[in-house]
Chain A
């Protein structure tokens, strides 16, 4: 390179960039968007400063959309989905600032304190297929609201966790539905609730995602379950006696009563069984370890006849004592096997609490193969709850032997299910083998659950034949799998809903027209096509179509930026919305 030419280039570039950069008008839109200066809202959300903010009457903050820091089945690519929603909103006049509030625990913590001040992405996956499990957690009365004996006089207070949303009518209806044993009456009530929420634009429901599972064509007989663990017992693999299933994360522990994650239930669901289980491919509870459960006339007592001749994998008998042992262990905090280090999360959550707070006030032994559940109040979703994976029966002998270490990799779990636990190499794989004495007929293959965290790597492993089945893949890979003769795709029916929540702490969002404008601004079908592929569907209500109580007659908000602008103008923002006001009446301590 000649020196002169080099000097020339350098001086030109330098002079050009410096001079032009210096003369340029500073406040360009791009610079305004520079996030370095925008980080303030997250700090303001801290409770301490929040308290100070209350003293100032009305505080203006940028309109913010918080996107989730992690991938969940209802939002397969949250950052990009957030970007797309923000772009849609921008085209309808909402100047939205995207914001990452922090990692997942931080995000959930801020949401819990009601400090995600703006729009935020979140979702819900159903536990037991009952509409109550969807709606009541979000919109029902909290225990603090239940003042006095007359439910009709209860007032729903703004729930921090739900973006300060409160709707007493909805909460009252949900309470009514939760104690009504008549299913068709409940169905009507839930439909009514859905319509009320829709009219109020309480949330913008975005998508239900049918989770895709990809298999090698040598595999047959896998049954994906909308609720509960998938059925592995019918799986056959051509030319092999082992089925290797690839998944994104390891199990947390193999004692279903003390965990909350799907990867644990996926394994315990094969080894342990509850009294009831869900019908393959549906959400309907059918008998499993119980042959039947029948309620008394006001549904406060349920008598269950147990299956006879069933043995745990350790050879001990399954009987009424075993059922009572398990329920007592879960319920009583002073039970010797209810350890302080263990969190019996789901028992508290589904049955109202421990000890005296429990809805189940007694589990009585009628005879060796009959138990009676006594409830403190009618509980409509009793059988659906009973069938959940968390309430699967473990061998009392195994719990007594392992003590606090039951469910850890060294011990695994011991139940009555179609598979027996073999080994668990933490972070790598779990192996289970057929239970030859299974009452429902023994399975034929060993199953290995392998952890491959990355979606793409997992798909490559399937293509290479290293695994024979997997859950969750990138949309583009799924399209390739559909086209590939050696692979096929199954879907787990959606029992989840991704939504965009409004913080009602924002004065502007308290106007239903603004919320509706946002609903019309976002091209949800576009999101589905681009990020969910053929597996997602637009959500028009909170309940997925699979759940009874789903109201198909609800008319969804159409994608219409023009209408959105018009609504926004009617609400008093003809020039669009870029700054919002925090309502000082919502106080966080």
Chain B
């Protein structure tokens, strides 16, 4: 078992190196540079060149052929890629080009916002998706089953940015029940260890703060939850149906055990594995979907931040943010694989 895990972890390394390389190449290949993004309409030729010089943007990406021809090998060690890898090797994500704020510092501030949103969405998706799936499976081919399956398919088909806009229109513009965006109202301040406002405010016993944070997060969380909710409901249903056809369930039924008992004691436990996998895999999807949700709800998370950084050519932020998201995705995949191997011995001997 340990060998399998070690092998699986080692196999992640080339992927990660590739990811850093691709991130580096992509942002450099995109036309337009930070100097122009910084100066806007006012840019003069001189200042653009000077800024390029200052930020090392005029250095070669890897190797300068002319420099090599003249015997200048040192150029390679001062190339942008080497600098980037060197900084990365001691976990230095660098500073934002535009703001000079260390990327890590902003990440610490913004990442919890995204995590809070994703977590709450996940919880909503699980709390609704799994029961719906179970009910559908247990009442197979009934009206409830059809309705909930079409409903979950609608969830999967939802353009979340559109759903977000519709929520804002209904709940914020027409009914005026909820604020249209942001994470907290002015005047509220929630400090704590987790930086998840909902958790921190509860830990501090700050009910007003909790209420305010909740009123801000509920719309984006519901929007973000729709797709995973549909997927989870469908997965739960199909894996429950598979299990319900197994012999041991029939045996249990034949023994005269009650329907509910069979459903929860025997079927659910065995149907959980694929559902857990799907839940794990949705984590990456949630982080990706955050770009749009955060845009619409002015949510101060990393999705929107990285998107803005791409537009502003703020390379260190794009690097740091994308790397973090990619890392999480890889890690989740790894965990899911290992979990699978733990639960299903056939896999690890393959």
Binding site for B on A (CB under 8 A): 46, 102-110, 112, 122-125, 127, 137, 142-143, 161, 242, 244, 252-253, 260-261, 340-343, 345, 348-349, 353, 404, 408-409, 425-429, 448, 450, 452-454, 456-457, 460-461, 464, 466-467
- B54 touching A340 by the CB < 8 A rule? yes
Contacts of B312 in A (CB 8 A): 104-105
Say if the beta carbon of B148 comes within 8 Å of chain A. Answer: no
- B100 touching A466 by the CB < 8 A rule? no
CA distance A46 to B295 in the complex (A): 31
- A103 touching B32 by the CB < 8 A rule? yes
Cβ-closest 3 pairs across A and B: A105-B32, A106-B32, A457-B181
Contacts of B31 in A (CB 8 A): 46, 102, 105-106, 109-110
Say if the beta carbon of B46 comes within 8 Å of chain A. Answer: yes
Q: A103-B32, A341-B100, A466-B186 are in contact. List 13 more A-B contacts (CB 8 A).
A: A102-B32, A104-B32, A105-B313, A112-B36, A348-B47, A349-B44, A427-B300, A428-B300, A453-B298, A454-B295, A460-B179, A466-B185, A467-B186
- A427 touching B110 by the CB < 8 A rule? yes
- A464 touching B179 by the CB < 8 A rule? yes
- B186 touching A429 by the CB < 8 A rule? yes
Give the residue among B30, B39, B310 with the most A Cβ atoms within 10 A: B39
- A454 touching B186 by the CB < 8 A rule? no
CA distance A14 to B313 in the complex (A): 48
Name the contact of A427 in the complex, choosing from B33, B41, B109 (C-beta under 8 A).
B109
User: In the complex, what's the smallest C-beta–C-beta distance from A338 to chain B, in angstroms?
Assistant: 11
Within 8 A of A (CB), among B21-74: 30-34, 36-48, 50-51, 54
- A112 touching B48 by the CB < 8 A rule? yes
Q: Which residue of A lies closest to B182 (CB)?
A: A452
- A460 touching B106 by the CB < 8 A rule? no
User: In the complex, what's the smallest C-beta–C-beta distance from A101 to chain B, in angstroms?
Assistant: 9
CA distance A521 to B41 in the complex (A): 27
Contacts of B296 in A (CB 8 A): 454
User: In the complex, what's the smallest C-beta–C-beta distance from B306 to chain A, in angstroms?
Assistant: 13
Contacts of A425 in B (CB 8 A): 109
Contacts of A466 in B (CB 8 A): 179, 182, 185-186
Q: Which residue of A lies closest to B294 (CB)?
A: A453
CA distance A252 to B308 in the complex (A): 13
- B40 touching A260 by the CB < 8 A rule? yes
CA distance A311 to B330 in the complex (A): 56
User: In the complex, what's the smallest C-beta–C-beta distance from A179 to chain B, in angstroms?
Assistant: 20
CA distance A427 to B41 in the complex (A): 24
- B181 touching A452 by the CB < 8 A rule? yes
Range of interface residues on B (Cβ < 8 Å): 35 or more
Contacts of B106 in A (CB 8 A): 426-427
Binding site for A on B (CB under 8 A): 30-34, 36-48, 50-51, 54, 95, 98-101, 106, 109-110, 168, 172-173, 176, 179-183, 185-187, 295-298, 300, 305, 310-313
CA distance A102 to B48 in the complex (A): 19
* Known contacts A428-B300, A466-B179; is-contact A108 B101 (Cβ 8 Å): no
* Known contacts A108-B36, A448-B186; is-contact A122 B41 (Cβ 8 Å): yes
CA distance A254 to B248 in the complex (A): 69
Contacts of B32 in A (CB 8 A): 102-109
Contacts of B183 in A (CB 8 A): 428
Contacts of B40 in A (CB 8 A): 104, 108, 260-261
Contacts of B187 in A (CB 8 A): 242
- B101 touching A461 by the CB < 8 A rule? no
* Known contacts A106-B32, A112-B36; is-contact A427 B305 (Cβ 8 Å): yes
CA distance A351 to B344 in the complex (A): 72
Name the contact of B47 in the complex, choosing from A242, A343, A448 (C-beta under 8 A).
A343
Name the contact of B173 in the complex, choosing from A46, A125, A242, A460 (C-beta under 8 A).
A460
User: In the complex, what's the smallest C-beta–C-beta distance from B50 to chain A, in angstroms?
Assistant: 8
Contacts of A427 in B (CB 8 A): 106, 109-110, 300, 305
CA distance A252 to B50 in the complex (A): 19
* Known contacts A343-B54, A427-B300, A464-B176; is-contact A105 B41 (Cβ 8 Å): no
User: In the complex, what's the smallest C-beta–C-beta distance from A100 to chain B, in angstroms?
Assistant: 13
Contacts of A348 in B (CB 8 A): 44, 46-47, 50
Q: Which residue of B lies closest to A405 (CB)?
A: B100
Contacts of A467 in B (CB 8 A): 186
Contacts of B34 in A (CB 8 A): 105
- B36 touching A105 by the CB < 8 A rule? yes
CA distance A110 to B31 in the complex (A): 9
CA distance A261 to B37 in the complex (A): 11
- B109 touching A426 by the CB < 8 A rule? yes
Listed A/B pairs (21) with beta-carbon separation below 8 Å = A103-B310, A103-B311, A104-B37, A105-B312, A108-B32, A242-B186, A253-B99, A253-B100, A341-B54, A341-B95, A345-B38, A348-B44, A348-B47, A349-B44, A353-B46, A452-B182, A454-B181, A454-B295, A460-B179, A464-B179, A466-B185
